[in-house]
Structure 1
Amino acid sequence: MLVHQDEPYNAETPPDALVDRITSLEAFYGRNHAPIPRIDSGSWRLRVDGLVGRPLELSMDDLRRFRERTVVATLQCAGNRRADLIEVRDIPGQVAWGPGAISTASWSGAGLADVLAEAGIRPEAAHIAFEGADESQQADPPQLFGGSVPLAKATSSEVLLAWSMNGQALPPAHGAPLRVIVPGWIGARSVKWLQRISALAEPTDNYFQTEYSLLPPEVDPRTAGPGDGITLGPIAIHCAFLRPCRGARLTAGPTEVSGFAFAGDDRTVARVDVSADRGSTWIHADLDPPANPWTWQHWRATLTLPPGEGELVARAWDSTAAVQTESPATVWNPRGYANNAAAHLHISCSA
């Protein structure tokens, strides 16, 4: 793992571990705003309250009575590839994520829609809020991590209350005993160490709901208010290089390059273009078909590289025909979120 912080633990997956369709538990990225909480699964209970007809308090045994569902889904931190934005202009106080704040797993658990149906959602409810057990000092005063999604997303069949990851019990580092999985949306909405679900008329006022918002370049994040940015939800189309890795020494001539592309929400990647001459000419990469709308897709292409210094560029298109913007400079923002600029990789080739 490429560890950025020990406490709270923040570490990204190394490129070699991202080439597989499913990421191992040991290599799955970790993004935290507080120390990992210690939870006694025996005494743990999940509260379901707010605008519901029947408030619930559920143990793990209660949850396991719901039909188990499984979804293979990619999770991605909103700050993935922030390091490219930091090269444009510094972003103080933020983790300099490379392309590895993303991983894919097979998740199993109860469908959130089934649990909400048991509680009986009232007609005035429009958002579903989640609260974890991890208390962050980043908020003032300190606050439990949380977030919310619209009711329509929360009741979609792919959204889970997961107790299993890659066929094993959910590890404490990834949210045990229970976490939310909201496929296609930023990882911050897949709240870990879940202990409360609330049906609300409006989005939650939790600090991290608006902390994860896209601010205009001119706004100071230290004084930004809730209305100054756009709250982040679905992930924008983007791609990244995995091989060769940054700093690799290459030999001129035919060379295979590869990477991943990801289109959030229920979109898929339609095409990936790769250039060996800084974007003057492009070729279509071979693109793996999507396993489902909720996972990344890997791509590869063979480029003829000349000797000397150069720059490779990759750009992806999604199923709505949205394409990545050309340069990280065009998407720079003061929190470093949602970098969906084309991927650039400096290379050096010997003759």
Structure 2
Amino acid sequence: MLVHETEPYNAEPPPGALLAQLTPLDTFYGRNHGPIPRIDPARWRLRVDGLVDHALELSIDELRRRFPERKLVATLQCAGNRRADLMEFRDIPGQVPWGPAATSTACWSGVRLADVLASAGLRREAAHIAFTGTDVSQQTDPPAPFGGSVPAAKALSDEVLLAWAMNDEPLPAAHGAPLRVVVPGWIGARSVKWLQRITARTEPSDNYFQTEYSILPPEADPRTAAPGDGITLGPIALHCAILQPDRDARLPAGPTEVTGYALAGEDRTVARVDVSPDNGGSWTHADLDAPENPWTWQHWRTTLTLPAGETELLARAWDSTGAVEPESPATVWNPRGYANNSWAGLHVTCHT
């Protein structure tokens, strides 16, 4: 793992480790805003309150007993994925320089959030569902638990889970045990870990991190920005990354396999990936895996004939609506470094 910070722990795997459809637990990226909490599963309870007919307090055993189990393969992606590319265009002080691997896929096991909300008697006026974790961030003043919310329409969708397992193994402490939210198609910050409370509300969560995860105008100062100054992030933006070859690799000239992943976000799928061996001078269509479901990445691959010398490989994705990624990091740069979905670029040197 490439460890960006040890406390809080923030780390991503080398890009080449993401070539499989499911990411092993010890390779799954870790994004945290505070220390990993120590939770006794026997004493832990989930509280469901707010705009419901009757509040609930549920143990893990009660969740397993009262609601049908559901499994779903879904990709999670940090909103700061590929921030390092934005930093090359213009510095972003105080932010983690994520590469292309703050993205991972697992088979999640748990119960549908919709089933739990139905059991609590969700009221019609509830427009947003807020989540609060047990982890406490020092980023806020005073320190406060991490949290966020999604609209009720998303929360009630079949794919949103309260998960207690990954890849048929118990959820590790580092990934939110005993229970976490999984909101497929949305930025990873909405999939709150170490979940302790679900609250039905008329308005979005007032947790600091609900609006901290927003796109500010390029000229804004994140230190003084008001909560309403940015575009609050929800669905993942159409995204593509190159996994192999390695950045700045030295390769023999000639046929070279180039591989990567693409992810459309929300319930869209990737329709096409174009790859260029010459900084956009020419393009070829990559072979693209069919999606397992709308909530997962799609791997792609192609073989390019590379000449001797230095070259810039590029990749761009198109989604099922016909949208294509923007060309340059300059067009999407923002002072928090979120949602970089510009074309993926990779410099290599080929020798004879």
**Normalized against structure 2, the TM-score is what?**
0.99
Hey, what does 1:217 align to over in structure 2? 218
Hey, what does 1:64 align to over in structure 2? 64
SS at match of 2:148: strand
Amino acid at match of 2:16: D
Hey, what does 2:17 align to over in structure 1? 17
Deviations 1:107-130 (A, max 9, x none): 000100000000011111000000
SS at match of 1:54: coil
Shift of 1:45: 0.4
In the TM superposition, what are the counterparts of 1:323-338 in structure 2 within 5 Å?
323-338=324-339
C-alpha distance in structure 2 between counterparts of 1:347 and 1:25, whole Å: 30
Shift of 1:152: 0.4
Hey, what does 1:260 align to over in structure 2? 261
Shift of 1:243: 0.7
- Confirm or deny: 8 A CA contact 2:51 2:126 kept in the other structure: yes
Hey, what does 1:112 align to over in structure 2? 113
C-alpha distance in structure 2 between counterparts of 1:192 and 1:60, whole Å: 15
In the TM superposition, what are the counterparts of 1:21-32 in structure 2 within 5 Å?
21-32=21-32
Deviations 1:233-284 (A, max 9, x none): 0001111111101121111111110100011000000000000111121110
Deviations 1:120-167 (A, max 9, x none): 111110000000000101011111000000000000000000001100
C-alpha distance in structure 1 between counterparts of 2:222 and 2:16, whole Å: 34
- Confirm or deny: 8 A CA contact 1:85 1:328 kept in the other structure: yes
Shift of 1:304: 1.0
Hey, what does 2:48 align to over in structure 1? 48
Hey, what does 1:310 align to over in structure 2? 311
SS at match of 1:17: helix
C-alpha distance in structure 2 between counterparts of 1:142 and 1:50, whole Å: 23
C-alpha distance in structure 2 between counterparts of 1:344 and 1:113, whole Å: 40
SS at match of 1:83: helix
SS at match of 2:126: coil
Hey, what does 2:207 align to over in structure 1? 206
Q: Percent identity?
A: 75
Hey, what does 2:36 align to over in structure 1? 36
SS at match of 1:79: coil
- Confirm or deny: 8 A CA contact 1:180 1:194 kept in the other structure: yes
Q: How many residues align?
A: 351
- Confirm or deny: 8 A CA contact 2:177 2:193 kept in the other structure: yes
- Confirm or deny: 8 A CA contact 1:220 1:334 kept in the other structure: yes
- Confirm or deny: 8 A CA contact 1:178 1:193 kept in the other structure: yes
Deviations 1:43-94 (A, max 9, x none): 1000000000010000111100210000100000000000000000000000
Hey, what does 2:174 align to over in structure 1? 173
C-alpha distance in structure 2 between counterparts of 1:182 and 1:281, whole Å: 37
Amino acid at match of 1:42: A
SS at match of 2:227: coil
Amino acid at match of 2:43: S
C-alpha distance in structure 1 between counterparts of 2:125 and 2:239, whole Å: 36
C-alpha distance in structure 2 between counterparts of 1:88 and 1:60, whole Å: 46
C-alpha distance in structure 2 between counterparts of 1:91 and 1:142, whole Å: 23
C-alpha distance in structure 2 between counterparts of 1:304 and 1:61, whole Å: 56
SS at match of 1:313: strand
- Confirm or deny: 8 A CA contact 1:235 1:338 kept in the other structure: yes
- Confirm or deny: 8 A CA contact 2:249 2:347 kept in the other structure: no
Amino acid at match of 1:4: H
- In structure 2, the gaps of 5 or more residues are none
SS at match of 2:17: helix
Hey, what does 1:249 align to over in structure 2? 250
SS at match of 2:34: coil
Hey, what does 1:340 align to over in structure 2? 341
- Confirm or deny: 8 A CA contact 1:313 1:344 kept in the other structure: yes
Runs of 4+ in structure 1 over 6 Å off: none
- Confirm or deny: 8 A CA contact 1:127 1:201 kept in the other structure: yes
In the TM superposition, what are the counterparts of 1:154-173 in structure 2 within 5 Å?
154-173=155-174
C-alpha distance in structure 1 between counterparts of 2:248 and 2:3, whole Å: 19
- In structure 1, the gaps of 5 or more residues are none
Hey, what does 1:146 align to over in structure 2? 147
- Confirm or deny: 8 A CA contact 1:13 1:102 kept in the other structure: no
SS at match of 1:227: helix
- Confirm or deny: 8 A CA contact 2:79 2:187 kept in the other structure: yes
- Confirm or deny: 8 A CA contact 2:276 2:314 kept in the other structure: yes
SS at match of 2:303: strand
C-alpha distance in structure 2 between counterparts of 1:159 and 1:23, whole Å: 19
